[in-house]
Structure 1
Amino acid sequence: MDSSFQDIYARRIETGGLQPDPAQQALIPGFQRMLDALAAPPPRARGLFSRRAAPEPVRGLYLWGGVGRGKSMLMDMFFEAAPLAGKRRVHFHAFMQEIHAGIARARKTGTDDAIRPVAEEIADGLRLLCFDEMQITDITDAMIVGRLFEKLFEAGVTVVATSNRPPSDLYKNGLNRQLFTPFIALLEERLEIHELAAERDYRQDRIGGTQVYFHPADKAARMAVDSLWEELTGGGGAPLTLRIKGRDVVLAQAASGVARCDFWDLCGRPLGAADYLAVAEAVRVLMLENVPLLSSENYNEARRFVTLVDALYEARRQVVISAAAPPEDLYVEGEGLFEFERTASRLREMQSEGWGTGD
């Protein structure tokens, strides 16, 4: 490994990408421990899921805390520095959609244990699995994750996860929660649990008071959105696919809880409220580019835009938008004009400095 995690963190501060934070710095030894351990070759395993033969995974990390404290940023720095090819970083919501699809395929083969082949496929050649935004709100997910993670740990996979909640609060007040509590115990046994108790919401600091609505959607707007993307994520990013009721919703770029996509990606397709609620659940900041003038000629797209804004508003997500006109001038004629007045008002409110993300 060329640099220590301390060096990587210090360089981010020197280049202006970070501000020193004692709560973040307190986690550096834990990340360094994992980097050192992962740098060593694992013992040769004789069987993927044999307890006696599979390599013991490096003890992982569960990092929780409030929105914008730097959890995803630290995990992404660690992921990039991890000295191995067999690693994967995925949003937890997208991962569980993948698991459901895999289980459905396995059941078609008549297997009695549909989770096992899915876990085997995921763990094949994998040593490090990083989850962003772990949360359990669905009873189906709650009933799956325990056995799934058991298989991953048995296969020698090291797990790192971020969440807004401690393990003890996952699936809180959920149906049949007593069946879920063994998974909490498994996390507490296999992962180091740390709260990132930074006092400041750095994401809010970076976006609060900053222009977040740009019109017209020209080259200058594109450059402004590029700058905010770099500020919020450090650049990079990868597509995030959300599997919702049998269809894929793809956000073109996603990193550190921020997603970026074109208007037509989300509003030019036949998507509905469930899809937009899933988007609002999956991200903290949505950058939506190239919103056109809306009218009766593109009424379906306008209606979807209204539904998307409603979902983001109710979830108190932050938005960055480039559009053909100010909110009040986007939709000036045709059916739905009255409803769009509320949307324009919400877009104005979501530009205010006090607007922030919820849990």
Structure 2
Amino acid sequence: MKNLSSKLISHLTNVIKIHPNSCQLDVVSKIQEFISDFSKPRLLTLKKNTKNGLYIHGSVGVGKSVIIKALKRIYPQSEILHFNDLIFKLQSRSEKNLGYLKNIKRKKLILIDEFFINNLTSFILFREFVEEIKFNNTKIIMNGNKSLETVYNDLVNPKLCEKIKNELKAFFLIFKVKSRNDYRAGKAIDHDFFLIKKKNKIIKQNYIVSEFSSERSSKQIEFKRKGNYFKLTKVYGNLIDLEFDDFFEKNLVFQDYNLIAKKIKIFVLRNIKQIDENKKNILARFISFIDVLYENKNILSISSNVGLDELYIGNTNSSEFKRTISRLKEMGTNKYINTNLM
């Protein structure tokens, strides 16, 4: 694709309204180089070290996801999906998901957002997906926070885990974003929506419910997808009023949150509790929930007696939770709320 880097920079600057820093420009340059290589006729790319994928990793908030999503906008022969969603589709044997996977393998480029591994089964499934991609003329650009060496360790099957890592390193050209500056950090939080350690949190969130809901009385709404059916109460048309403990005790996953986010615009989440190592399921659900709301540009109001940076005091998935906090900080800004509330 001609002038890909200039088109990508133009989209970031004029549409997303961010001014790429030097590290983000390096990412754009690497993407341009990678796509230019596989866009050439095969006779010109018969190099021993030609890779089928590009893996971009680095600290949270450096712009990896923003750049990948912008790339999808300007590169029509691509398909983008969240890594969580990819694993779900690989695990599901439904005709719809098998058809989707078959179709994306016909694309020139697959974009995978937020690569992370928290179990060996997912690691094996992804390895098998990558193996199948090798037989097509399809390439992958993927982003994540961790290096392939540190993305996952399995104490029971360390040799298999190491084998998968080596296979992925052979598949992907690896590019590390050197910046550690979170572009979301330092933005002012709207304390009418993000009520952290506020005594008037109940009154404030009650006001949000009454002011922004499209219906005055609450209803119970049913949600259904293949493999799950559930109900949620306290739905006021475009707004839902949630209690943290009740909601995250429900056995919901990324796809369920996506169903909810596409049907409901505004989420009022009350009394977020501090999460520790003993509540890994709650942590995983909360991470997926925030990822979904961020991707769908939903509006969120939260209340908690704990500061954002102290919401999680464990080690498991701590890197992923840093992304969650970074996204929460952006979702709590006046700019995000005013832009997406319309």
1:132 aligns with 2:113: yes
Q: Is the 8 A contact 2:7 2:74 kept in 1?
A: no
* Counterpart residue number, 2:73: 80
1:100 aligns with 2:77: no
* Counterpart residue number, 1:337: none
1:187 aligns with 2:178: no
Structure 2 counterparts to residues 90-239 of structure 1, below 5 A: 90-102=81-93, 121-206=102-187, 208-211=188-191, 212-213=193-194, 216-217=207-208
* Counterpart residue number, 1:358: 322
Shift of 1:146: 1.9
Shift of 1:139: 2.2
Q: What is the TM-score with the length of structure 1 in the denominator?
A: 0.56
Shift of 1:166: 0.4
The alignment partner of 1:132 has SS state of: strand
The alignment partner of 1:162 has SS state of: strand
Structure 2 counterparts to residues 276-295 of structure 1, below 5 A: 289=266, 291=268
- Alpha-carbon distance in 1 for matches of 2:132, 2:105: 12
Q: What is the TM-score with the length of structure 2 in the denominator?
A: 0.59
Larger mean Cα displacement after TM superposition, 142-151 or 3-12: 3-12
The alignment partner of 1:26 has SS state of: helix
Shift of 1:20: 3.4
Compared CA separation, residues 25 and 152, structure 1 to 2 (3 A) = same
Shift of 1:77: 1.7
- Alpha-carbon distance in 2 for matches of 1:25, 1:154: 32
Question: What RMSD in Å do the two structures reach over aligned CA positions?
Answer: 4.9
Shift of 1:170: 1.9
Per-residue CA distance 1:246-287 (angstroms, 9 max, x = gap): 4379xxxxxxxxxxx9654977xx9652646869x99xxxx9
Unaligned runs of 5+ in 1: 44-56, 107-116, 223-240, 250-260, 292-301, 328-343
Q: Is the 8 A contact 1:276 1:308 kept in 2?
A: no
Shift of 1:147: 2.2
- Alpha-carbon distance in 2 for matches of 1:322, 1:127: 36
Shift of 1:162: 0.8
Q: What amino acid is aligned across from residue 126 of structure 1 in structure 2?
A: K
* Counterpart residue number, 1:254: none
Compared CA separation, residues 243 and 314, structure 1 to 2 (3 A) = closer
Q: What amino acid is aligned across from residue 31 of structure 2 in structure 1?
A: F
Unaligned runs of 5+ in 2: 44-49, 195-203, 214-222, 231-236, 259-263, 276-281, 311-319, 324-342
Per-residue CA distance 1:217-267 (angstroms, 9 max, x = gap): 379869xxxxxxxxxxxxxxxxxx9999x4379xxxxxxxxxxx9654977
Q: What amino acid is aligned across from residue 4 of structure 2 in structure 1?
A: S
Q: What amino acid is aligned across from residue 79 of structure 1 in structure 2?
A: K
- Alpha-carbon distance in 2 for matches of 1:64, 1:34: 15
Q: What amino acid is aligned across from residue 60 of structure 2 in structure 1?
A: V
- Alpha-carbon distance in 2 for matches of 1:177, 1:69: 31
Shift of 1:121: 2.3
* Counterpart residue number, 1:47: none
Q: Is the 8 A contact 1:60 1:191 kept in 2?
A: yes
* Counterpart residue number, 2:36: 36
Q: What amino acid is aligned across from residue 30 of structure 1 in structure 2?
A: K
* Counterpart residue number, 2:56: 63
Compared CA separation, residues 314 and 219, structure 1 to 2 (3 A) = closer
- Alpha-carbon distance in 2 for matches of 1:126, 1:140: 26
- Alpha-carbon distance in 2 for matches of 1:26, 1:2: 18
